[in-house]
Amino acid sequence: MEVLQEGKGELVGWHDPDEAREWALKNKSRELKDKTMSVKEAVSKFVHDGDFMAVGGFGHIRVSMAILYEIIRQKKRNLILAGKTAVHDVDILVASRCVNKAEVAYCFGHELRGLSPASRRIVQSGECKVIAETSNAGYQWRWLAAMMGLPFIPSRNLLGTDTGRYSSCKVVKDPFSGKPINLIPAGYPDVAFIHVHRCDIYGNAQIDGSLIEDFELSRCARRLIITTEEIVNDDVIRREPWKTNIPFFLADAVVEVPYGSHPCEMPGVYWFDEENIAEWLRLSRTPEGVEEFLQKYVFGVDNFEDYLEVCGGVKKLNYLKRREFYHEPMKAVSYK
Amino acid sequence: MTAETRYNLRELLACNGARILEDKKSVFVGTGLPMVASMLAQKTLAPNLFIVFEAGSMGPYMRELPISVGDSRTWYKGVAASSMHDVMSLSQAGYVDYGFLGAAQMDMHGNINTTMIGDDWYNPKVRLPGSGGANDVASFSDRTIYIIANQSKRAFVNKVDFVTSPGYLDGPGGRERAGLAKGSGPYRVITQLGVYGFDEQTKRLKLISLHPGVTLDEVKDNSSFEIIIPDQVGTSYVPTDEDLRILRQEIDPSGMVLGK
């Protein structure tokens, strides 16, 4: 195949398909075993300095926040972040100096809520490097190629643009149509975190609502930490197996963390904590503010239960639950 | 009340956006004003507008304005809450008539920059969020609509600092030469001054209508490139009282997107 263009972006998380197969054959157990553990244990066991990591969910939705706070607490360093639809997750990890490289589909912004003061400050100073550009579908299909055990997948996005030129993709002449076609390299995160609605002790997990990228992400990550709103009996899974989005052999750790997506939304359970997100956006305008926030919500608490208390406890959580079900009106919040 | 105080700029943009969308067609919607405009279209002229969101929602009739294209509001009364792979694949395969996005910097061929300001990707002066799903929407939708709320010489530029999402690239045939879907491309651009389309032959930005009270000079003065001005320039749609009632009472009562 004739290569028409080679992206200038750094290729991270790619493995030769035979190497990837061998790794899975050797390292991913098919044994049905209890994988429950604490947040602390899951992070110290499966997150290593320098890992290429990906977070499930989308923007401020269904994010494994408990794991991210623990990564900050354990002072992991030099992580390479899959900036897929990365919003609060990337902002807080970059601000905490845990991440020094990012492949970017969307980073350094909070969508409608505004840009990210902290992570933009750090990326513009050069302390955290953008190593490649891509798009949301571009990332999605890195996972797809990897879960299929393929070296790449062809696509018709990124073509003709600087996003493509600074990606890790290659453009070739399609041997069938004769037209230029983009090839997206497979992407295998060293570790991924996905927050789900319910899961058994083995890692069979159900997600309510849009799966976003998590069907593919769960299947391509080398190590997968599942955090769950609740652990359910295996019978619940086996009674309706068509509801399983992630089968157990993909999971390496199962951590029960009710409200584990806070301050992000958990669809059908609780709404965004806009006050908490706004507090972060206000404080993170200065490095001192970042320290203040981290001290209050991360280093100043021992575990996620204590964190939730600091965030407003039962009263706040009940409000967020009512808000999710439209029982409370939308309030305009100032993020400035 | 005078026309100038009866509605604000964002309401005008939303109403003009809604008028472009057609009933019984599909639209891939981005955050903010495109969402408001699509909801308004469903509640007025396009009750069977099929809305899709990149995180996986299809065919909703939203009860409340979503904050993000992935939150649970996006699948209220929807027909599916699927996945990004599903939505993106269907778009690539030709099931999306309209893409609808916000943007900040554009050139005369509708190429969009949301990645960085500066001339060196390795050391940007200002780092912006990047493509998100925009490159995908601009690549896969049959017709892409943009809202650029602040048209100025810095927004309408001769050359964007970074082509994040494809317009017509270097002009006629540019998309096809690059391998993008045949016949697809940017379709309408709505700014605070008017509504624009693209000239068939040159694929350059062309004025369609001016908003009430806006002059041709204002349009020209707020662009670094030459905008094609046809002999006949219309007047943009003016929001009706009913439009404004729907926007303020049903779609965005908190003023999150439209302001107060």
Residue A335, Cβ density class (10 Å: 0-12 exposed, 13-18 middle, ≥19 buried)? middle
Which CATH number does the domain A3-324 belong to among 3.90.230.10, 3.30.1490.20, 3.30.70.20, 3.40.1080.10?
3.40.1080.10
Q: Which helix (H) or strand (E) holds A3?
A: strand A3-6
Tokens of A39: 């947040």
- This model of the complex carries an ipTM of 0.97
Topology at the third CATH level for domain B3-251? Glutaconate Coenzyme A-transferase (3.40.1080)
Contact B139 A159 (CB under 8 A): yes
Rounded Cα distance between A213 and A136, Å, is: 9
- Which of B84, B121, B179 is closest, CB to CB, to A166? B121
How far apart are the CA of B8 and the nearest CA of chain A, in angstroms?
18
Side chain identity at residue A193, one-letter code:
F
Q: Is B185 helix (H, G, I), strand (E, B) or coil?
A: strand
By C-alpha distance, which of A5, A8, A10 is closest to A172? A5
pLDDT less than 50: residues of chain B:
1-2
CA A29 to each of CA A148, A204, A214, A221, A252: distance values in angstroms, whole numbers, following the listed order: 19, 14, 20, 14, 9
Q: Write out chain A residues lying below 8 Å of B32, CB-based.
A: 112
Q: Write out chain B residues lying below 8 Å of A331, CB-based.
A: 254
Residue partners of B5: CB distance under 8 A and separation at least 6: none
Q: Which residue in chain A is spatially nearest to B34 when comparing CA positions?
A: A112
Give the domain ranges of chain A.
Answer: 3-324
Contact A140 B162 (CB under 8 A): no
Tokens of A6: 């080679």
Q: What is the dihedral of CA A20, A22, A23, A24, to 10 degrees?
A: 90
Contact B256 A124 (CB under 8 A): no
Rounded Cα distance between B206 and B227, Å, is: 6
Contact B85 A130 (CB under 8 A): no
Rounded Cα distance between B225 and B247, Å, is: 34
Q: Which residue in chain A is spatially nearest to B160 when comparing CA positions?
A: A162
End-to-end CA distance of chain B: 17
Q: Give me the residues of A, 215-244, that contact B with CB < 8 A.
A: 215-216
> What is the DSSP code string of B94-108?
T--SEEEEE-SEE-T
Q: Which residues pair with B145 in a beta bridge?
A: B100, B188
Residue partners of A19: CB distance under 8 A and separation at least 6: none
Q: Which residues pair with B146 in a beta bridge?
A: B101, B189
Give the domain ranges of chain B.
Answer: 3-251
Q: Write out chain A residues lying below 8 Å of B71, CB-based.
A: 60-61, 265, 267, 272
Q: How many Cβ atoms sit within 10 Å of the Cβ of residue B232?
A: 7
Q: From start to end of chain B, where are the E strands?
A: 26-29, 50-52, 57-58, 80-81, 98-102, 105-106, 112-113, 116-117, 126-127, 143-148, 185-191, 194-198, 205-210, 234-235
Q: Which helix (H) or strand (E) holds A93?
A: helix A88-95
Q: Is A141 helix (H, G, I), strand (E, B) or coil?
A: helix
For residue range B25-39, list pLDDT tens digits in order.
999 999 999 999 999
pLDDT less than 50: residues of chain A:
none
Q: Write out chain B residues lying below 8 Å of A115, CB-based.
A: 128-129
- Up-side HSE of residue A6: CA atoms within 13 Å toward CB? 5
Q: Which of B36, B62, B72 to mutate against chain A (most A CBs within 10 Å)?
A: B72
Respond yes or no on whether the N-terminal peptide bond of residue A263 is cis (omega within 30° of 0): yes
Q: Write out chain A residues lying below 8 Å of B63, CB-based.
A: 326
Whether residue B29 contacts residue B49, with contact meaning beta carbons closer than 8 Å, is answered with no
CA B179 to chain centre: 23
Provide the pLDDT for residue B4.
Answer: 60
Residue partners of B79: CB distance under 8 A and separation at least 6: B58, B59
Helix H, strand E, coil C: the string for A43-61 is HHHHCCCCCEEEECCECCE
| Strand A129-133 to A99-104 pairing | parallel
Rounded Cα distance between A175 and B175, Å, is: 19
Provide the pLDDT for residue A307.
Answer: 97
Q: Which of A120, A135, A213 to mutate against chain B (most B CBs within 10 Å)?
A: A135
Question: How many degrees, rounded to 5, is the angle at CA B40 between CA B30 and CA B148?
Answer: 45
Q: Which of A60, A104, A142, A162 to mutate against chain B (most B CBs within 10 Å)?
A: A162
Tokens of A14: 């790619």
Catalytic residue annotation of B: 54
User: What's the pTM?
Assistant: 0.97
